[in-house]
Chain A
Amino acid sequence: MSLRTPLGQVQGLGSARSGTQHFWRQRATAVVLVPLTLWFVWTVARYTGASHVEVRHFFANPFNAGSMLIFVLAGLYHMVLGVQVIIEDYIHREGTKLALLVLNQFAAFAVAVICAIAILRLAL
């Protein structure tokens, strides 16, 4: 048995979990998403009711396809972090919580891959 205090035993070892990483990434993606959201909303509004040819033409521009790809990926990452907090706040049964946290990550990853393939197929 150690005579050191509980505080003394853990001091200097760093964070027990992820520290400020989650908080920081939530903010970093938020900052990126502000201009991208303005661009997205402006663009999609002007392409309301556009024909398939017009949409293809839009994505043929690398700037448009790239911006859409970054918007989708940054948005989904921001989403994973946000939904994770909601799950942690309201689901208190450990098994259910773990399952939902994993589902959150996998679902977002699947949507990200599908969106990326769709955008690249339109762009190339």
Chain B
Amino acid sequence: MANQSARGPERPLSPHVQIYRWPVTMGMSILHRVTGFGLALGSLVLAWWLVAAAMGPDAYDTFQAVAYHWFGRFVLFGFTLALVFHMMNGVRHLFWDMGYGFAVPTATRAGIVIYVATIVVTWAIWMIAYSAMGKL
């Protein structure tokens, strides 16, 4: 046969992630892994903060200056967002492990609630942070 490749005749492929509309749960699952890995890298920032504080005022002030720089705040905002999302979605995983919330409409609704709650809680944390600095 003319159009037969080495691996046999061409077969239609099943639709993959580029083809069909992403269910909410799929985006949540991917984000859980992405935020988890991001938090792993973020643990280095936490380590830096602790070490800087332990080393003394000079090292601590350097950390504070970097953290307050717009890029530092951008990274810390992402860290907060990832931490809040990963924690709340993690609680949902624990409910799944116990056998609750598997129905598709339930899982989708819970996912949307977590998206909204992540934004609200992250915003609230940064409000607390800015008021602690006396910037509000």
Contact = CB atoms under 8 A, between A and B. Distances in A.
A7 interface: no
Contact of A76 (B43, B50, B87, B134): B43
A79 B128 contact: no
A65 B44 CA distance: 18
A47 B87 contact: no
Interface of B: 33, 36-37, 39-40, 43-44, 46-47, 50-51, 53-54, 56-57, 60-61, 64, 68, 80, 83-84, 87, 90-91, 93-94, 97, 125-126, 128-130, 132-134
Contact of B132 (A47, A76, A83, A111): A47
B56 A41 contact: no
Contacts of B94: 27, 30-31
Given A33-B90, A41-B84, A86-B36, 5 more contacts: A30-B90, A49-B132, A68-B50, A75-B39, A115-B47
Interface in A79-124: 79, 82-83, 86, 111, 114-115, 117-119, 121-122
A30 to B, nearest CB: 5
User: Which has the most chain B C-beta neighbours within 10 Å: A37, A41, A68?
Assistant: A41
Nearest to A71: B46
Interface residues of A, number: 35
Nearest to A56: B53
A45 interface: yes
A24 to B, nearest CB: 10
A34 B90 contact: yes
